Amino acid sequence: MKNAIKVFAPATIANLGIGFDHLGLAIYGPGDEIIIGEGSEKGLKIKEIKGAKGRLPIDPTKNTAGVAALSLLEAIGAKDYALEMSIHKKMPIGSGLGSSAASAVAGVFAVHKYLRTGLDVSELLPHAVKGEQIASGAKHADNVAPSLLGGMVYIRDNQTLDYKRIYFPKGIFFAVVYPEISILTRDARSVLSKSVSLENAIQQAANFACFVTAANSSDLDLMARCLDDRLIEHQRASLIPYFNEMKEIAMNKGAMGFSISGAGPSVFAMCFNQIEAENIAEKLQSFLKGKKIQATTWVSDINNDGAYLF
């Protein structure tokens, strides 16, 4: 591949319990890497996909990274530009950590950097969402926006992509645990009820609003009190082995809160500091091992960088 460059897009924790489809943040560690360079013929070609175990299509019109990249190429009038890309999945598929979003972000960001489009990074968001949408079946940017922009992002409206990057207090760490089973977003959405009680809707709105306020004011105790999902968690918990037991362990060890990352099966504990997060990650991994379930863990503070060029 001639004149190649390499980019990376990070994994994300979406929903954060109380912000279903509207809140997410980026973490360090897992993510997707793409190498892009000059191709031998017109158009975009995906040369290879590593780390996906044959589960992802190499056809760019059916691949999340390819669709996002093609969307940008068409928008800037460069769809016939000869490009090749290699995708390296450095995170598990169907993990609840924004795998398809990271691919979409890496795809569009690679084209943006390689062709030096001159666009603001925020202008790439609609193209990344198009890529992620073919995997999830729904238009939502709670994974895509933080993976692209970094930090914690609140999406007021997913249709218009009206969003706001929210300040997040320093020092908070996340213990992320991925039980090595796969739950696809489409399947996790199918178990959700179409209606909720008025009481739960009111409390969820209050928790969401106070969480954002607490983040902006670094009120950690208030943040902890807000991490109480009244709408989604109890509906998806049955899809994740030993979810309630893991939550009890994390909360007993001092976690600020514990919930499902995205559609699962990954779970996260929000913690007051790194040592607490490391201890909780170790305890949860050991617990799952005792239940004959392999698990991968990451400990991370918030990733404010988002997608980047190596």
Q: Based on the number of CB atoms within 10 Å of its own CB, is 158 exposed (0-12), middle (13-18) or buried (19 or more)? A: middle
Tokens 């926006």 belong to residue: 145
For Cα atoms 90, 112, 128, give the angle at the middle one, nearest 5 degrees. Answer: 60
Task: For residue 117, indicate whether it is catalytic.
Answer: no
**Candidate list 33, 84, 132, 276, residue with the active-site label:** 132
Q: Say whether 282 is catalytic.
A: no
Residue linked to tokens 């009890």 = 248
CB 85, CB 34: distance < 8 Å: yes
Which run of H or of E encompasses 87?
A: strand 83-90
Active-site residue, selected from the candidate residues 12, 64, 185, 297: 185
In the numeric block, the tokens 């249709």 are attached to 159
- Find all residues with CB under 8 Å of 275, minimum gap 6, and list them: none
CB 122 within 8 A of CB 83: no
> What is the phi-psi region of residue 105: left when phi exceeds 0, alpha when psi lies from -120 to 50, beta otherwise?
alpha
Could you give the residue numbers annotated as active site?
132, 185
